[in-house]
Amino acid sequence: MALNLVVLGPPGAGKGTQADRLAKAKGIPKISTGDMLREAVRAGTEIGLRAKAIMESGQLVSDDVIIGVVRERLDKPDAQRGFILDGFPRTVAQARALDTLMNGRDPLIVVDIVVPEAALVERLTSRLVCSTCGTNAEGVSVSAMDTTPCVRCGGQLHKRSDDSEAVVLERLKVYRRDTQPLVDYYRSRPTFRAVNGAQPMNRVYEDLAEAVDSAASGGALGGAVR
């Protein structure tokens, strides 16, 4: 059975970090629409040029662009054994499109990582990422970003332009308006789970892995935060 997983949660919930770790453990690709779009921006592609201004203002890129990117990615050979989606779907319309893309595949498991908003603002406004590979820097302060290289590639760390406080607050507002309804869309499914993302990273990972295994084995509905 292929593991087809969507990781939900607001900006700063740790979706990317946890999805990376689980993807490596399961031997399947982590598919991040945010990473793909940022690469398109760096490369100056048509999609990148269309998305750049929208992303930097904290708004969402249009459904047709995102769905097209995801459709092409899921058709690649390495995704046939399963995948982890990080950053998609972000709207109910995208979720319905994903349901269509899942025709003929094993069931979709959905896990929501829940974190209080105050903690999210603190995390995002102090977050540093690698300017070369986009990896989040864990445990590095802003004052040390010029002297601490990326642990993955050795690149220089910096603050993303969309991690200013004003943009962070706008992103969370957009999340509440457009993305939070996804929880209601998926909540009644037997493959939906929610985990507490305000814990230490290792504990969040343990809860996430347990939730995924429970959903894959047909365990009881797990809508409550663990």
pLDDT tens-digit map of 109-164: 999 999 999 999 988 888 899 999 888 887 788 888 899 999 999 999 998 887 88
Residue 160 annotated among the catalytic residues of the structure? yes
Is residue 15 annotated as part of the catalytic site, yes or no? yes
Decide if 171 is catalytic: yes
Confidence check: pLDDT of 76 > 80: yes
- Choosing from 15, 26, 30, 73, the catalytic residue is 15
pLDDT band of 67, cuts 50, 70, 90? confident
Q: Give the pLDDT score at 202.
A: 95
Measured between alpha carbons, how far is 34 from 128 in angstroms, rounded to an integer? 16
pLDDT of 198 above 90: yes
Task: Please give the CATH number for the structural domain made up of 3-116+166-225.
Answer: 3.40.50.300
> For position 121, what pLDDT does the model report?
92
226 flagged as catalytic: no
Higher-pLDDT residue of 175, 222: 175
* Dihedral (CA of 31, 32, 33, 39) sign: negative
152 is annotated as an active-site residue: no
pTM of the model: 0.76
Domain limits of the chain?
3-116+166-225
- Look-up: residue for tokens 């996430």? 208
